[in-house]
Structures are given as structure tokens and as C-alpha cells.
Chains A and B, each alone.
Chain A
Amino acid sequence: EDQVTQSPEALRLQEGESSSLNCSYTVSGLRGLFWYRQDPGKGPEFLFTLYSAGEEKEKERLKATLTKKESFLHITAPKPEDSATYLCAVIAYSGAGSYQLTFGKGTKLSVIP
């Protein structure tokens, strides 16, 4: 069974204090890994897709990296507006031309001014 585990569950940072969120996974036939940001009362907002180990993607203060067993979302000098829940999801081929997306439970990030 595909599993995705995110850690920590919650993280409080001071503004400007860099840190990393972890997403570890066990999945057969990985086709990609997604990072999403979710604000309270809203649907997940797409951030990055990573397809293969060693790949990195950057967007503003965020950088996502991927290994064969985990992904990291690095946050550099965070600001209060980066406060949100960050979701990781892996996508794997599930047969008959369809793909299964399995989500972790998320990391709730709070950035304190």
C-alpha cells in the first residue's frame, strides 16, 4: 500500500528563520511527487511537481528537492504570509491507464512576525 508521511505535523518559525519540511514515501511505480499549499477554508494550491531523484524546483522562498525515498520543502527566510498547511502527494500508476494520488496529512506552518 502506498504511504506518504509528512513531518513535522506542525512547525512554528520566527520570520526569517529558515527550515525544511519532510515528506517520506513508499510507493510502487512512482511517477511524480507534488507539493501543495493549503490556506484555511480553501482548496490546495499547486506549488511544484518533481519527477525524478535529484530534481529540484524553486519558487520565491521555496525550494523542493527529491530523493528516492523522500522530498524536502526548504523555506528560506520565511514571511508571515507563508503560513499555511503544506501538503505532499505522490502519484503512481494504478493500472488501466489511471493514476493514484496519495496525500500526506500535511505540515501546518506558522511564521511569527
Chain B
Amino acid sequence: GAGVSQSPSNKVTEKGKDVELRCDPISGHTALYWYRQSLGQGLEFLIYFQGNSAPDKSGLPSDRFSAERTGGSVSTLTIQRTQQEDSAVYLCASGSAGLKRFFGPGTRLTVL
């Protein structure tokens, strides 16, 4: 079966532009997570979706970051007015009833 997929794999943008990152979770997984991984840092939690419940947005670093999940499946992470410090690898993970989480390959974002 297909794993978690993310697109694009790489994104280069100019400071101040908006970007959208996409995540396609494993079919049937009700939980979806976004993480950010900066060079030399651990994975930083951003946001968590579980079924139809309100998302846990406690990890979003600023109001420039938002995410939505449509139809309980595909999710889009949007970063508005990008800054250079937003450069990182953005990882999406999905999971089912258990605690195990499966990660996608990530989107490497570079803000010039």
C-alpha cells in the first residue's frame, strides 16, 4: 500500500511570498500531523488533526502558519509572508487508532 506522500518535495520561494505544502496521508488513517525539522534541531510539532475534532494548533509558531484538512484526508499547510527563518523540512505523518505514526518524505522549503 502507498505510504504518506508530500508535495512538492522541494520549494524555493522569495521572502514575503505565500506557500502551500500538501500532504496525502495513508488511506484510512484518521490522525494527521505536521512537524518542522530545522537543521540540527529535533522535530518540532506544528499541528494535529484527529477525525472531525477541532485541530490541536498549539505548535504553530505564528499566525502566518495555518493548516486545513479537507474531507478527513488531504491536508494543506499554508505559510503566509514567508520569512527566512521558515526555511526547514516540513514533515507530515499519519496514524490510525494506535500510537504509531508514519512519516512522509517531507518538503524542503527554502526562503531566499
Binding site for B on A (CB under 8 A): 4, 31-32, 34, 36, 41-46, 49, 87, 89, 91, 94, 96-106
Given A98-B48, A98-B56, A101-B45, also A46-B100 (CB < 8 A): yes
Q: How large is the interface on B (under 10, 10 to 19, 20 to 34, 35 or more residues)?
A: 20 to 34
Determine which of A4, A31, A44 lies in contact with B103 in the assembled complex, contact meaning CB atoms within 8 Å: A44
Question: Measured between alpha carbons, how far is A94 from B35 in the docked complex, in Å?
Answer: 17
A98 touches B50 (CB 8 A): yes
Q: Judge if B52 is at the interface, Cβ distance under 8 Å.
A: no
Q: Judge if B4 is at the interface, Cβ distance under 8 Å.
A: yes
Given A43-B104, A43-B106, A97-B53, also A105-B99 (CB < 8 A): no
Q: Judge if B33 is at the interface, Cβ distance under 8 Å.
A: yes
Residue in chain B with minimal CB distance to A44: B103
Residue in chain B with minimal CB distance to A5: B42
Q: Judge if B40 is at the interface, Cβ distance under 8 Å.
A: yes
CB neighbours (8 Å) of A106 from chain B are 42
